[in-house]
A and B are shown apart, each in its own frame.
Chain A
């Protein structure tokens, strides 16, 4: 059974349609990458899976069960955690409190403040600092750590490398590999194709709300990806 399955999902913002009949499956232990240019509907896709956005038609299944009836705050407990675009750490809370709140509605599991700080040692000296005082890279590590505190089965990562220094991006992608080893399934959205193709074992390219190309990275030529990416 697939961890996640989307069947013909349509999503609208008011009159604007962001996703058109999107269908795909994410299998257990996969790192599934959604790439594509701005406005392709990738962030909308993750928000819809996390429950922040409602599909107007189509269905989403998590471990075979439809999740449409569950609001966003229920889905964390089911095992879906989203690291949102723009990091969205709680600015007035300390780093430690941000991690604590990550466990609020989550599941029991191996992740706790200690293991998160082992994964991101840069957070260790910052635990008492207010999250607003952190650098972009530190906030991103905190946002991922916070999501891990919920012990998700499926981790949704939205543009985690955006605006970060290359050395930080490298660290985050190393962490991603480690997460897959611990049994987490990852759905990652990126504009930066090069990095994500090194870790992904399945890729879907989004163009104007539709999947324009899908397959294993090894099966896809860079010309085909470029064409699907820009719609040429």
Chain B
């Protein structure tokens, strides 16, 4: 494969990584909570979509939309029914609880669907591509994923910057107690933040499931890539997460091209560690203190 081709693939792959990372960044940004089950919840969404396709014989598009709605509701209930109770003075509690949640989801999925690899079939779109020259062609589906991630991030950023509720998200992130004094119910805001995060990661999980095969054990890998994208991009910057995802995707595909197919992931991690060492706050860190 040509280098330019590989680079384009890497950039497009970065869009998917960014989509996985966005919800993680949002949840951390609004409530300073690290959700270790984030990747598993994305994979869970892929299985929910698969289940809907198989049970009700609907297309991937409808199944996907329905899954996103379901995960939105699950996110709100999960936050208000469980995770809100872990927040407080002790930062390790949500980590322990979401770690347990991650194990429960993985094993639940294995019990229900077995450990076999699954795929979501979206039809023709998976295989068609745009030919730019003899050596260069771009797959429609990866391009679509990339565009989707840009649209989602733009919508989320607009929501946070321009709407009354988005302002309440940022105020709560700045100072929870002062936000309460403004009449903002932080538990509700946290519920909404998790709902949006899970809707976005559901979208990411479904797109992943169409792009490649998936199985119940993939969540933690998705989580690590998401972490790497968020940290490289800079905590608190959603557009930074896209850049972080692209850097990670590029490193992985270029690494595979240069050193052989097994080496891509390692190169990705090494680039991440280098960024962490040289620029620990990431590319676009937005940290503001009073």
Contacts and interface: CB of A to CB of B under 8 A. Distances in A.
B185 interface: yes
Contacts of A74: 183
Contact of B177 (A52, A91, A105, A130): A52
A89 B167 CA distance: 13
B178 interface: yes
A88 B167 CA distance: 16
Identify which of B164, B175, B289 gathers the most chain A CB atoms within 10 Å of its CB: B175
Contact of A91 (B164, B168, B289): B289
B178 A100 contact: no
Contacts of B181: 50, 52, 72-73, 76, 81-82, 84, 88, 147
B182 interface: yes
B171 interface: yes
Nearest to A77: B183
A37 interface: no
Given A52-B180, A73-B183, A105-B183, A92 B167 contact: no
B288 A132 contact: yes
Contact of A101 (B171, B177, B185, B289): B171
Interface in B234-288: 286, 288
A101 B182 contact: yes
Contact of A104 (B168, B173, B174, B288): B168
Contacts of A54: none
A88 B175 CA distance: 8
Contacts of A90: 170-171, 174-175, 178-179
Contacts of A100: 164, 167
Interface in A113-166: 130-132, 139, 146-147, 150
- Listed residue (A73, A84, A91) with the most chain B CB atoms within 10 angstroms of its CB: A73
Nearest to B287: A92
B290 interface: yes
Nearest to A78: B183
B164 to A, nearest CB: 7
B184 interface: yes
Contacts of B183: 73-74, 76-77, 104-106, 150
Given A91-B288, A91-B289, A71 B182 contact: no
17 contacts: A51-B180, A72-B180, A73-B181, A73-B182, A73-B185, A81-B181, A82-B181, A87-B290, A88-B175, A91-B175, A92-B288, A97-B167, A101-B171, A101-B179, A106-B183, A132-B290, A139-B290
Interface of B: 164, 167-168, 170-171, 173-175, 177-186, 286, 288-290
Given A52-B181, A77-B183, A106-B183, 7 more contacts: A73-B181, A73-B184, A84-B178, A92-B174, A104-B164, A104-B168, A104-B182
Interface of A: 50-52, 71-74, 76-77, 81-82, 84, 87-93, 97, 100-102, 104-106, 130-132, 139, 146-147, 150
